[in-house]
Structure 1
Amino acid sequence: MRKTKIVPWTKEWDRLYMIEAEILGEIFEHEIINIFHIGSTSVQAIGYAKPIIDILIVVENISNIDIYNDRMSDFEYEVRDENGITGRRYFVKGKEKRTHHVHIFQIGNESINKHLHFKNYLIHHPQEAKKYGDLKIALGKEFPNNTYQYQKGKEAFVNELMVQALNWQENYLSRNHRL
């Protein structure tokens, strides 16, 4: 069973993202529209995270991604297909000691904006990000041997943050992009 390990934020995660983004860019070179570092390792203000780099890739056609499964396996990624989220292709690297999660969506999928708005909200609201980091630490201590319970413990807080993030982003866009 995987352990829930929460560690202090480090700039090293940005470097690890850049290295992996370059590799993924070579693998999916003809498919990628954009690539982003997401998740807690991408937001310094959270302060703490599991040391797993989450990467979001936007592509033109999601069905083309399946032909790259063997190539991803060559780079030690485990293919997880949609893994519970319709329209996503999901890959994990590192087996029991995960290092990377790759989430691939077709352009226009609502999950893209959810991930990016959530990150943007936490960057612009460091007090909320800190609360999230504090929750991660508490849950990591409470459930060090049960990642499922750790994730379940975050669910209500993350869902509330997501609502706030989407509302904030909508207001931000309407204030700053008037015609």
Structure 2
Amino acid sequence: MRKVEVTPYSNAWPSKFQEEATELNKVFGSELIEIHHIGSTSVFGLSAKPIIDIMPVVKEITRIDSFNEAMRELGYEARGENGIAGRRYFQKGRNDRTHHVHVYEEGSPEIGRHLAFRDYLRAHPAIAKKYGDVKEELAKRYPSDIAAYIEGKEQLASEIEREAVEWVRKREKCK
């Protein structure tokens, strides 16, 4: 059973991302275009489950399955698309997860969605705090029910995502 734990922001999270990104770069090599730190641990000051979310962007998603063994050697479990078409998902740490890797092919709309959410929260600390407060409260209320935790934050996360996508559109129009 996965324990739901939300902790205050840790200054160690960016370096944990960087360390893992270095290893993933070795695994994916020339298939890798870029790699991003996403999710709550990528937003300074935001309380989060202490799991580093990483988003490699690759040339061709269908080639990623051939890296499953190399990912296993790093401690990852390959989960295929895991509910999102066009993604390859890996998790590390079983029930005590430390990392999630969400691989997308260049041009996937999921890339923009993840980056918009991250960048919006980085630019709007009051909204990030509200989101973090909700997550902390849900973790206290549902310490052993990850499904209830996820469901509890879903509406706010969806609202933030809609605002973030619109915010990015407006910014791009101004360029």
In structure 2, stretches of 5+ residues that fail to align are none
The RMSD of aligned alpha carbons is 0.6
> Following the alignment from structure 1 to structure 2, what is the Cα–Cα distance between the partners of residues 75 and 123?
30
Per-residue CA deviation, residues 62-115 of structure 1 (Å, 9 max, x unaligned), is 000000001101111000000000000000000111000000000010000000
Q: Which amino acid is the alignment partner of residue 120 of structure 2?
A: Y
1:109 alignment counterpart: 108
Three-state SS of the structure 2 residue aligned to 1:45 is coil
Contact in 1 for aligned 2:41/2:50 (Cα 8 Å): yes
> Following the alignment from structure 1 to structure 2, what is the Cα–Cα distance between the partners of residues 118 and 45?
15
TM-score (norm 1): 0.96
> Following the alignment from structure 1 to structure 2, what is the Cα–Cα distance between the partners of residues 56 and 103?
5
1:84 alignment counterpart: 83
Structure 1 runs (4+) greater than 6 angstroms displaced: none
Three-state SS of the structure 2 residue aligned to 1:28 is helix
1:1-179 correspondence runs (5 A):
1-46=1-46, 48-175=47-174, 177=175
Contact in 2 for aligned 1:45/1:122 (Cα 8 Å): no
Per-residue CA deviation, residues 140-161 of structure 1 (Å, 9 max, x unaligned), is 0011001111011111110010
TM-score (norm 2): 0.99
> Following the alignment from structure 2 to structure 1, what is the Cα–Cα distance between the partners of residues 95 and 158?
27
In structure 1, stretches of 5+ residues that fail to align are none
Contact in 1 for aligned 2:8/2:45 (Cα 8 Å): no
Three-state SS of the structure 2 residue aligned to 1:44 is coil
> Following the alignment from structure 1 to structure 2, what is the Cα–Cα distance between the partners of residues 96 and 129?
26
